[in-house]
Amino acid sequence: MSTAMNFGAKSFKPQPPDKGSFPLDHFGECKDFKERFMKCLRENHFESTLCRPESKSYLECRMERQLMAKEPLEKLGFKDLVDESKEAEPNKS
């Protein structure tokens, strides 16, 4: 009698989740943005809503350097900050 467990010839190929898993920033490309965000969190007793602009900048850095998939900022919960930046831009005519 064989004690080996053989569940068939199919091999399991794990796939990363669509969100929540991304490469580490091994070269520190977004370290300054991360540090600003973490400093803001510490200064505001880890109340993340007070550090949304820093969070947005950090995520933009990660997307620009392909450390995470590009997503519209509106989809990541920054619609209000995107709208504010568009209003602040001068009209180009």
**pTM for the predicted model, two decimal places:** 0.67
Q: pLDDT (tens digit, 0 to 9) for every residue of the chain, 93 residues total?
A: 555 555 565 666 666 556 655 678 889 999 999 999 999 999 999 999 999 999 999 999 999 999 988 999 999 999 998 876 665 655 544
Query: What pLDDT does residue 91 have?
Result: 56
CB distance 73 to 56 below 8 Å: yes
Instruction: Return d(Cα 87, Cα 81) in angstroms, integer.
Output: 10
